[in-house]
Amino acid sequence: MLPLFVFLVLLLPALPLPRASADICIVGAGISGASTAFFLTNYTTSLHGAQLRVFERRHRVGGRLATVAVAGDHFEAGGSIIHPRNLHARRFADLLGLAVKAGGDDDWLGIWDGKRFVFQTLRPLPPGSSWWRRKLHGLLNSLLLLRRYGLSLLKMDKFVQEMLQRFMLFYNGFESRPVFATVEEMLKWTGLYGLTRRTLEEELLDAGLSSQTIAELVTVITRINYGQSTRISGLAGAVSLAGSESGLWAVKGGNWQLAAGLLKTSNATLHLQEGIDSITDAGDYYVLRSNTGNEYNCTATVVATPLDEMNITFSPPISIPPRKMQHTHATFVRGLLNPGYFGLNSASSIPELIGTLELPDIPFSCISVLKRYSEDDMTYKMFSCAKLDDGLLDQIFSARKETIRINWAAYPHYEAPEEFAPIVLDGKQLYYVNTFESAASAMETGAVAAENVARLIISRLSLPMRGVEPPGPHIKSFAGEDEEGSWRRHVEDL
């Protein structure tokens, strides 16, 4: 009987071998990828046996969050500040037990037009100054700003606060906040979509700001935060302006620790120095092939890195609107600025934060003092849209002991009206977190987009919810309002 059984078995058609269990895979270990991993594991009780894998082509996590070492000190080279109303980042820091430090709320600002400083705030007080002296100093600075820019300051603040109040809707509880399939839906629900259709300059002129305020103060802020002029789209510009408010903070030792801590908390398998070369749809799962020659089967795949300058091959191909990335060149210099370059007599007369106007002959966006070792020895950080060569640096600085250059594909080049790539790239289980960056790019916007993608995956894979509610205010949405006109209506205070 045995030979007959073997013969019959050999006549049967070959059955496909069972595939290896498919995982949930995230491409990119920056704040977007790390936040996606955190929310997936924090909001579910089970991933249905899937392993959570995170791939990072670099040797470290954090993406565009990184530090650079100068003279033994570590300074932020990428995203450096966090707004006090960025509730996800605040929650992450608290959950991970990370120590934080206050941002510089009392910078000595000078606005430079390429020949002279057209405006300066007061020099900072010496350390240990009394409370009343600090209060008086702040009041005098406010009066200086008010004298030059008038009521435009109040109108600018109102513009920013209205944006922030609408942005706070993204922290509402699940019972009042939908899961969104597109960026357009996310923005229309909050009433922010209209800001992506027009430039910041157009929005601010309609809000009543003076041309001088826009050309000087607003331009300095957008050049510092996004390396672009007030012709950027309105929402990115509003987020940029929010980055000039008080109460800003950062993580001691580097904001990259937020990403590292979230990945550790999510218990994800981290693949460092393993980039993904191709993503292939294999039916009910995706095959990811890495630059190390490995293949991974993934039930759901999340792309958490900008695709604009990545060479990932998709099969079948995906379609996303073209988008240019704005490269920011961060140059760190230990030395001393040349006062003659700025038309001054002494280095002590140079402001600690130099912002520049949008003029073709100015080669950098800003210069700031990171650390003062002595009156003739400091560490500076410069932002520019192009590399600053040694010849130019030798004009700007009278002495240079150390120079470090970093070229970041830092954020999109914003042009209104903005177009958005799909969140679900193929209508199935291939997701794109960084499409939200076309609205505004920041650590918090990455976390907001990641949370929505995590909730989308959970709902579409029918994963069991843990019942965790995000902390934060509950505010009525603006969905259904006129996209262009609703922005200027009164919004009640939180």
- Give the integer Cα–Cα distance in Å for 186 and 24: 24
pLDDT digits (tens, 9 = 90+) for 227-282: 999 999 999 999 999 988 888 999 999 999 999 999 999 999 999 999 999 999 99
Give the pLDDT of residue 9: 33
The residue behind tokens 């707004």 is: 83
Identify the bridge partners of residue 250 per DSSP, sorted by sequence position. Answer: 101
pLDDT, mean of residues 106-117: 92
pLDDT digits (tens, 9 = 90+) for 319-363: 999 999 999 999 999 999 999 999 999 999 999 999 999 999 999
Q: What's the pLDDT band for 469 if we cut at 50, 70, 90? A: low
Is the model's pLDDT at 301 over the cut of 80? yes
Q: Tell me which of 9 and 58 has the higher pLDDT.
A: 58
The residue behind tokens 């760190």 is: 332
pLDDT digits (tens, 9 = 90+) for 46-67: 998 999 999 999 999 999 999 9
- Give the integer Cα–Cα distance in Å for 435 and 449: 9
pLDDT, mean of residues 142-154: 96
Give the pLDDT of residue 279: 98
Can you give the residue ranges of every domain in the chain? 106-137+326-411
Residue 107, Cβ density class (10 Å: 0-12 exposed, 13-18 middle, ≥19 buried): middle
CA dihedral of 213, 219, 221, 227, whole degrees rounded to 10: 180
Give the pLDDT of residue 296: 98
Is the model's pLDDT at 15 over the cut of 80? no
Give the pLDDT of residue 107: 81
Q: What does the block give as tokens for 174? A: 């699940």
Percent of the chain whose predicted confidence (pLDDT) is above 90: 84
Give the pLDDT of residue 57: 96
473 and 491 in contact (C-beta within 8 Å)? no
pLDDT, mean of residues 438-444: 96
Inter-CA distances, 14 with 9, 10, 11, 17, Å? 10, 9, 9, 9
Q: What is the DSSP letter of 231?
A: T
pTM: 0.90
List, in sequence order, every beta strand (DSSP E) within 63-189. 67-70, 73-76, 100-102, 109-112, 117-120
